Chain A
């Protein structure tokens, strides 16, 4: 665990301390900075926009409620993701339909799960279709990973976390994180083998 003072230089921690003194604008600034990130973190694991919105809102409610007693013991980002991760795990326990499994079918409950965003760089309908198909395959590949592998991949690849940050967020050792990531790479290579030939 790092020294308390080392987190004081974290601009997010400073915003949080400012919020602790009653400045709501600082809290909203933190929300603007991290809302989309936490939303996508939850979405990539839970696969439901509604559930992801709930997780991100609940995460920020926890942050808000902790404001009065907040003491920087980790970087704000790690702390926030830790809150979100715990909420996601609770949701996974509560609702089995979200759960990750290596043996699970790559199809979600809603079927093929079409792309839910518009890619403005692609104009040709065929390009869009190919892109949607590739996104669906990638999504299915990540979803098919065991829970911890999936979380490590999402945090490392999409959230750009370091091994140390992942280890702190998930409560694992750095070597365990590396090992999970290695196995995830192996699984993804197998699941995305068909996709890479299309590149």
Chain B
């Protein structure tokens, strides 16, 4: 059997719901006829209820904008740039699909560009007259000659010509008695 002292010691546990059912019942029954313990219980309740006097305070009203600014300062610039893509890359299952799509776009555009170039050349050739084709071919021949002249072998021949020709001319002049 609990006396008033025991009951009052157990009161905060009783109020916090920490007692077993049997002790709870004992305290309830004791409180019905004990005025001293009723007063003690009341004093616990009053102190607990007085906590409401510490009311909530309002935070800085610009907290949302302050939050975004603070966050911006934390995020490195490259993450900020990539952030809009985060939604797409957030779902990892989409990565192979996106990689395939990028591959198809690159290969497709390269193929299209090549076909377009071939088509342009063909249409250019068909639009030329026979004379223009001859002219172009001649230009090509001239260009090839220029290339040949630039070769070392031909440069050596030019040097030989310059060396040999004056001597040959001189000999011819001596023989003819000029």
Is B74's CB under 8 angstroms from A49's CB? no
* CB of B96 closer than 8 Å to a CB of A: no
Within 8 Å by CB of B13, from A40, A61, A131, A182, lies A182
How many of chain B's residues touch chain A, expressed as a range?
20 to 34
| Complex interface: chain B residues within 8 A of A61 (CB) | 67, 70-71, 74
Query: Which of these, B13, B50, B70, contacts A196 with CB under 8 Å?
Result: B50
Closest to A39 in B: B59
Chain A at the B interface: SS class: helix
Task: Say yes or no: is A157 at the interface (Cβ < 8 Å to chain B).
Answer: yes
Q: Does A79 make an interface contact (CB < 8 A)?
A: no
Given the complex of chains A and B, what is the CA–CA distance between A57 and B66 in angstroms?
8
Question: Chain B: interface secondary structure?
Answer: helix
Cα-based distance from A67 to B50 in the complex (angstroms): 39
Interface size class of A (residues with CB under 8 A): 35 or more
B13 touches A68 (CB 8 A): no
B56 on interface, CB distance cutoff 8 Å? yes
User: How many angstroms between the C-alpha atoms of A28 and B58 in the bound complex?
Assistant: 17
A153-B47 in contact (CB<8A): no
Residues of A within 8 A of B64 (CB): 28, 31-32
Chain A residues within 8 Å of B90, by CB? 20-22, 68
> Are the C-beta atoms of B59 and A195 separated by less than 8 Å?
no
Q: Give the contact stretch, choosing among B14-22, B106-114, B119-127, B135-143.
A: B14-22
> What residues of B have a CB within 8 angstroms of the CB of A160 in the complex?
none
Q: A57–B43 contact, CB under 8 A?
A: no
Name the distance in Å between B126's Cβ and chain A's nearest Cβ: 54
Decide if B17 touches A68 in the complex (CB within 8 Å). Answer: no
Q: Is B32 an interface residue (CB 8 A)?
A: no
Q: Taking A31-B67, A135-B55 as contacts, is the C-beta distance between A181 and B50 under 8 angstroms?
A: no
How close is B54's CB to chain A, nearest CB, in angstroms? 4
Q: Say yes or no: is B152 at the interface (Cβ < 8 Å to chain A).
A: no
Answer whether residue A77 sits at the interface, using C-beta atoms and an 8 A cutoff: no
Query: Is A36 positioned at the interface, with any CB of B under 8 Å from its CB?
Result: yes
Q: Which residue of chain A is the closest to B46 with respect to CB atoms?
A: A196
Q: Tell me whether A135 and B54 are in contact in the complex, defined as CB-CB below 8 angstroms, given that A163-B17, A183-B12, A185-B16 are known contacts.
A: yes
Residues of A participating in the B interface, judged by any CB pair closer than 8 Å: 20-22, 28, 31-32, 35-36, 39-40, 43-44, 49, 52-53, 56-57, 60-61, 64, 68, 116-117, 119, 131, 134-135, 137-139, 142, 153, 157-158, 163, 175, 178-179, 181-183, 185-186, 188-189, 191-193, 195-196, 199
7 contacts between A and B (CB under 8 A): A21-B87, A57-B63, A60-B67, A68-B86, A135-B55, A182-B18, A192-B47
Interface contacts beyond A135-B55, A181-B18: sample of 7 additional A-B pairs, CB < 8 Å, sorted by A: A21-B87, A22-B86, A158-B56, A185-B16, A185-B48, A189-B12, A189-B44
Identify the 5 closest CB pairs spanning chains A and B, nearest first.
Answer: A178-B18, A22-B87, A182-B12, A185-B12, A192-B47
